[in-house]
Chain A
Amino acid sequence: MIQAARDGDLDSFNRLVLAYQDLIYNHAFRMVGEEESADDATQSTFISAYNHLGSFRGGSFKAWLLRIVTNACYDELRRRKRRPTVPLEPLDDAGEEVESARWMVDPTDQPEQQVEQAELQRAIQHCLDNLPRDFRATVIMVDVQGLDYFEASQAIGKPIGTIKSRLARARLRLRNCLNGFAELLPAGFRLGLG
């Protein structure tokens, strides 16, 4: 199917799109944290992939697509950095951002389990957003997408030793960030409680 797509068969390429679009969109959303930006990044990823199919030298097509979408997300994050938005975190009395996201707990009348689940996901995404982008891409590929170190190395274009180092640092930062959401975490997942 990949070879047919390289020969210009658009239907074959669209079958590849159908097979990988959830993976690519999921990765884009975890990278940029917004549905609209993730949609744009996913669309540009498949267009760019079709236009550059000639540069695909074999190997993991999934890793190749993840590399393209990661670069598209880097562009989006760079663009967003040029157009800063109002930070999500509130300011404390000293005018500094509140590190913990406990303020996001919204005591409404919704079912408690759904609320907790949604808040937990937002907390994890919040911690992902606070990671450096290289660490974020690595931890999303390995811990969210389930790639092994070799595939992650191919997708990021770095040696496996770099992947190991980035992954360890990213997990350590995530652990420190999630410690601030202890009450949001399920009982079995509460950090520091053994």
Chain B
Amino acid sequence: MKNQIALRDYELISAYLDNQLGDKERAFLETRLKADPELRKELHEISKTRLLVHSLPKLRAPRNYYVNATTVRARPPLRLAPVFGIVSAVASVLLALVIFGSTFLESSPQVAMAPSIPVSDETISVQQEVQRSAASPITTTEAAPVVMMGSPLIASPTPNIGAFKAGEPESATPTTIYLFAYPPTSTTENLTALTEDQAEINRLQCKEYYGGGAYPTLSSQDNCPSPTPTSTSSQFSLDVLSTPSPTPPTTPTPTITPTTTPTTTPTPTTTPTPTASTTSTPTMAPPSIQNIAPTGEVESSTGITSSNQVLGAGNPTPPGQEQGVNPSTSPNVSFLYYLLLTVEISLAAIAIIAGIAAIIFRVRAG
């Protein structure tokens, strides 16, 4: 019989006993109570239960629960001090990890970025340079003759000079490769011989310039301050030593006549470049360049060949090419360094502030 009374009815009975029903619900329940003796019995038993629970004695507190200053104020510092201490310790550990990681990162990218990128860049830049020279052989600078004449002499030794003189970390790879291609003993001797030859050539040019005016637009006239051959040769040798890589201004100007050819003819014989690829490379050059300055083209192609040959030997990165590689990678690296620096500063600040806070709370807690 009790199962017939739904839980909703018990809720109505309970609320009715607590006088929590509205007028309509109360009237509805009272009507049902008059008609349903079972519901009336349930109401009676729930009412007794309620009175029994309410009859429980009201217990008095066994003592006074006064709160004093030591009870309520000693607790927060005791809880906060360890928290700040843990935060400081975690920040310190993270800071150490970030510093170690950044140190590791500073050494890793240069090693990782060296091999593949310079090869393609150099190949592309050399091909573009050759194509550009073929397309517009007239638009060259006045400094071209000096470079053109000097390039076969210094084209191959120049990387060696740069590698030996600079000694920078990024040139370590080319240095090794060039040493493999040109033994150090022959390189030094060749360098001296080439310098002397170049000085001699320059001396002859200056002599002809001041004597007959054969080089009206000779750009190296600045290197001939006086007809005296000794001073000219010494000054020009410095220019030869400081001449950069063979790739950029190897195209001849139209002012260069075939009269320059006799002066540069001995250069291929003095060039210590391995001859295997030297003979094949000039065929790839545009014929227009060969027509204007055939020896110059050979000389410039020798420089390119030596570069390609070195690349084929060990993928080196000549000093002139590395400047074209670094700008493409430096923004990301610098951004990463700034990011690491920001993280390090933040972690250091957190570690210090949290440590100080932990000490303060610990001292205040006594």
Contact = CB atoms under 8 A, between A and B. Distances in A.
Nearest to B41: A194
B62 interface: yes
Given A17-B67, A189-B51, A191-B48, A165 B11 contact: yes
Looking at chain B's contact residues, the main secondary structure is helix
Given A22-B61, A47-B71, A51-B75, A164 B20 contact: yes
Given A51-B75, A144-B53, A189-B48, A18 B10 contact: no
A74 interface: no
Contact of A46 (B20, B58, B60, B65): B65
B26 to A, nearest CB: 14
Given A17-B64, A189-B48, A30 B56 contact: yes
A175 B57 contact: no
Nearest to A16: B67
A139 to B, nearest CB: 7
B65 A192 contact: no
B49 A191 contact: yes
Contact of A51 (B11, B50, B72): B72
Interface string A58-84: 000000000000000000000000000
Interface residues of B, number: 37
Given A29-B59, A168-B11, A171-B14, A47 B53 contact: no
Contacts, number: 111
Interface stretch (A35-43, A85-93, A94-102): A35-43
A26 B59 contact: yes
Interface in B32-69: 41, 44-46, 48-54, 56-69
B59 A50 contact: no
Contacts of B7: 168-169
Looking at chain A's contact residues, the main secondary structure is helix
Interface string A1-22: 0000000001001100110011
Contacts of B69: 10
Given A21-B61, A21-B64, A22-B58, A143 B50 contact: yes
A17 B15 CA distance: 32
B10 A47 contact: no
B76 interface: yes
Contacts of B68: 10
B347 interface: no
How many chain A residues sit at the interface, stated as a range, is 35 or more
Nearest to A181: B52
Nearest to B49: A175
Contacts of B66: 14, 17-18
Contacts of B18: 142, 148-149, 167
B56 A39 contact: no
A24 B58 CA distance: 11
A171 B67 contact: no
Given A14-B67, A46-B65, A169 B10 contact: yes
B52 to A, nearest CB: 6
Interface of B: 7, 10-11, 13-15, 18, 20, 41, 44-46, 48-54, 56-69, 71-72, 75-76
25 contacts: A10-B69, A14-B66, A14-B67, A18-B64, A21-B64, A22-B61, A25-B59, A29-B59, A30-B56, A35-B62, A39-B62, A139-B53, A143-B54, A144-B56, A146-B54, A165-B11, A167-B18, A169-B7, A171-B10, A174-B52, A175-B48, A178-B52, A185-B52, A189-B48, A191-B48
Given A10-B68, A46-B65, A171-B46, 6 more contacts: A17-B67, A51-B75, A124-B52, A144-B53, A168-B7, A169-B10
